[in-house]
C-alpha cells in the first residue's frame, strides 16, 4: 500500500500529555521549530463532524469512507514508524479489531468481523489487512452507525494495543478542547477546575477560579458534583462532564453538590471565561508567591509579569507553586524554567533511534533569589520539567511530595476531519540525565498534605492548613536571615 500523502504534515506538535483525570483534563506540550506559537495553526474543523445517521447516509458514507481509510493508514504508518519503542504489526491489527468489537458491544451488537488471521490469510500485507478490517466493518454496519465512529473505534483500538495511556486517537471534539485549553480558556463556562475522585468515581471541584461565576456562587475545593443539569456524574468521563458544565454565555447550569454529607443545588450563570495561568501576591513580608496552574500559550508572559511585579514590591525570595499542575506546553516549561535558571540545559528528549535534542535556558533569568518550588503527586509533565531543571541546577529546592512521573513526549498528527492521533515519540530526561518516567521527582524536603487544600483560599491556607507552603516560608525566612548576617 503506497504511503498516503502527508495531509497532516503541515502541523506537527510534540507534546507532554499528563492526562491526569484527577487534575484538570488533558494538557500538552509542544516543540517544533517550524510551528507558529499561535495555536490557530492547528487545522481544527469547527463544524459538527460527527453527524447523526440521516436519510442520505449511503451517499455520505461512500464519500467519507475513502478519507477514513486514509486516516487509518496514516495512523498505522505513524505509530509503526514513530512510536518510541518497536511495534509489532500484528498487535496493531488485533487492537484494531478489539476496538471495533468493543464499540459494537457498547451498542449492544455482537460483532461479526473476520479475525486478524483470516484477513492476513488472504495474502494482504499488514497495512492492507488493517484497511480490509475497517472496510468489512463499514460494509456490515455503516447503515446503522456513522462510519466516523467506526473509524475512530478502529484507530483507538489500534493505538490502545500499545498499552500506552498517552497514545490515543483524538476526535475533532477532543482537538477543539485541546485548542481551547492551550489558548488559556476563552469559552462559555463557570470557571472551575474539576477532577475525578479515584475512589468514588465522582466529579469533584479541585479549585474555583477567583472572580469567576463558580467562585461567586460559593463552590469550594472538595465539593462533590453529583449531577449537572440532571445528569448523574458517577463514572462520567471528565471531558464529557466538562462539556455539560460549559455552554453558551448567559445560560444557567444547575449543579447538585455534596459538601460535608449534605447536598444542595447551586445555579450558576455561565460567562465567557478567560482562564489565567498565574496568580501571585506578596506574603509574609518580603516573600513573593506565584501559583501556576498550567503551562499554556500565555503562561510564560504571565509569569514574567508576575515576577516583575513582585520584584518591584521588594520580593527577596520566591515560592513557585506547581502543585496540582498537570503540565502544558513544552516551550512554556523551557521559558518558565529560564526565569530561574540563568544558563545551561533545561530538558533533553531522546527518540527511538537514540537521537538527543536539548533545550537550553533562554538567558533571561531574574536576579537570583532564594527559591522554593512546591510540588505534589499531581505535578506532572511540563511541571516536572521545570521542577527537575530547577532542582538539578540548584537554582532552588523542591518541597512537598514526589511528583507524578511522566517522562515521555508525544507528537500530535492532525487528521483532515479535525481529529488527530497522538503518539509517544520520545522520552525526556532532566539536565542531570534523570529519567523520571513512572518514578517521579523526590522533593528536597518531603511534606505530606491533602492535595485538595491547594485549591482553597490562600488566606485560609496561610493560617495553618497549607503545611507545605508554611514549610517553604520557614525555609526561605531562614535563608534570608542567613544572607543578612
Catalytic residues: 381, 392, 406
- 57-82 and 126-141 helices cross at what angle (nearest 10)? 150
φ, ψ (nearest 5 deg) of residue 45: -80, 125
SS3 category, 451: helix
CA atoms within 13 A on the CB side of 96: 33
φ, ψ (nearest 5 deg) of residue 328: 160, -150
Q: For residue 1, give the C-alpha cell.
A: 500500500
CB 356, CB 345: distance < 8 Å: no
CB 288, CB 310: distance < 8 Å: yes
CB 295, CB 262: distance < 8 Å: no
CA atoms within 13 A on the CB side of 351: 13
The DSSP-derived string for 45-61 is --S--SPPP-TTHHHHH
Q: How far apart are CA 243 and CA 33, in angstroms?
A: 33
351-380: buried (b, 16+ CB within 10 Å) or exposed (e) per residue? ebeeeeeebebbeebbeebbbbbbbbbbbb
Q: How far apart are CA 405 and CA 410, in angstroms?
A: 15
CB 446, CB 475: distance < 8 Å: no
Closest CA to 420 of 78, 114, 137: 78
SS3 category, 421: strand
Q: How far apart are CA 244 and CA 228, in angstroms?
A: 7
The DSSP-derived string for 231-297 is EE-TT--HHHHHHHH--STT-EEEEEEEETTEEEEEEEE-EEEE--SEEEEEETTTEEEEEE--B-T
Q: Give the dihedral of Cα atoms 456, 325, 164, 30; nearest 10 deg.
A: 150
Q: Could you tell me where the DSSP H helices lie in 107-237?
A: 116-121, 126-141, 147-160, 172-182, 213-216
SS3 category, 330: helix
- Determine which helix (DSSP H) or strand (DSSP E) holds 475, and give its type and residue range: helix 467-483
Q: How far apart are CA 326 and CA 328, in angstroms?
A: 7
Q: How far apart are CA 156 and CA 389, in angstroms?
A: 34
DSSP label of 217:
T
Q: How far apart are CA 118 and CA 154, in angstroms?
A: 17
Amino acid at each position: 500500500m503506497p504511503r498516503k500523502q502527508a495531509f497532516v504534515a503541515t502541523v506537527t506538535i510534540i507534546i507532554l500529555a499528563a492526562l491526569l483525570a484527577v487534575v484538570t483534563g488533558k494538557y500538552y506540550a509542544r516543540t517544533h521549530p517550524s510551528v507558529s506559537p499561535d495555536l490557530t495553526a492547528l487545522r481544527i474543523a469547527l463544524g459538527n463532524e460527527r453527524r447523526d445517521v440521516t436519510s442520505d447516509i449511503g451517499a455520505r458514507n461512500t464519500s467519507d469512507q475513502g478519507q477514513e481509510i486514509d486516516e487509518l493508514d496514516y495512523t498505522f504508518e505513524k505509530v509503526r514508524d514513530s512510536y518510541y519503542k518497536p511495534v509489532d504489526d500484528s498487535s496493531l491489527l488485533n487492537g484494531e479489531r478489539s476496538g471495533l468489537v468493543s464499540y459494537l458491544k457498547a451498542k449492544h451488537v455482537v460483532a461479526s468481523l473476520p479475525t486478524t488471521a483470516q484477513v492476513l490469510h488472504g495474502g494482504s500485507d499488514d497495512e492492507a489487512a488493517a484497511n480490509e478490517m475497517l472496510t468489512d466493518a463499514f460494509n456490515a454496519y455503516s447503515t446503522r452507525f456513522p462510519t466516523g465512529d467506526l473509524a475512530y473505534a478502529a484507530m483507538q483500538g489500534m493505538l490502545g494495543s500499545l498499552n500506552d495511556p498517552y497514545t490515543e486517537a483524538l476526535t475533532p471534539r477532543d482537538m477543539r478542547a485541546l485548542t481551547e485549553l492551550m489558548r488559556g480558556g476563552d469559552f462559555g463556562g463557570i470557571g472551575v477546575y474539576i477532577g475525578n475522585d479515584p475512589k468514588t468515581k465522582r466529579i469533584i471541584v479541585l479549585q474555583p477560579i477567583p472572580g469567576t461565576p463558580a467562585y461567586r456562587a460559593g463552590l469550594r475545593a472538595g465539593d462533590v458534583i453529583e449531577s449537572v443539569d440532571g445528569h448523574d456524574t458517577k463514572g462520567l468521563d471528565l471531558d464529557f462532564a466538562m462539556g455539560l458544565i460549559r455552554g453558551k454565555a448567559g445560560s444557567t447550569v444547575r449543579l447538585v453538590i455534596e459538601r460535608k454529607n449534605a447536598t444542595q443545588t447551586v445555579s450558576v450563570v455561565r460567562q465567557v471565561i478567560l482562564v489565567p495561568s498565574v496568580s501571585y501576591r506578596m506574603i509574609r513580608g518580603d516573600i513573593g508567591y506565584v501559583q501556576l496552574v498550567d503551562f499554556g500559550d500565555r503562561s510564560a508572559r504571565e509569569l514574567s509579569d508576575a515576577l516583575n511585579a513582585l520584584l518591584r514590591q521588594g520580593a527577596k525570595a520566591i515560592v513557585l507553586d506547581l502543585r496540582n499542575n498537570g503540565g502544558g506546553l513544552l516551550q512554556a516549561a523551557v521559558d518558565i524554567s529560564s526565569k530561574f535558571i540563568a544558563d545551561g540545559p533545561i530538558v533533553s528528549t531522546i527518540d527511538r533511534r537514540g537521537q538527543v535534542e536539548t533545550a537550553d535556558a533562554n538567558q533571561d533569568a531574574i536576579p537570583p533569589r532564594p527559591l522554593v518550588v512546591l510540588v505534589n503527586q499531581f505535578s506532572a509533565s511540563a511541571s516536572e520539567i521545570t521542577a527537575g531543571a530547577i532542582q538539578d541546577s540548584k537554582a532552588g529546592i523542591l518541597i512537598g511530595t514526589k511528583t507524578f512521573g511522566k517522562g515521555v513526549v508525544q507528537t500530535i498528527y492532525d487528521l483532515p476531519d479535525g481529529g488527530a492521533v497522538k503518539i509517544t515519540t520520545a522520552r525526556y530526561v532532566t539536565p542531570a540525565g534523570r529519567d523520571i518516567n513512572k518514578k517521579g521527582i523526590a522533593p528536597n524536603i518531603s511534606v505530606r498534605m491533602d492535595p485538595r487544600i491547594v485549591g482553597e483560599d490562600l488566606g485560609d491556607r496561610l493560617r495553618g492548613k497549607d503545611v507545605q507552603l508554611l514549610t517553604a516560608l520557614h525555609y526561605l525566612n531562614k535563608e534570608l536571615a542567613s544572607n543578612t548576617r
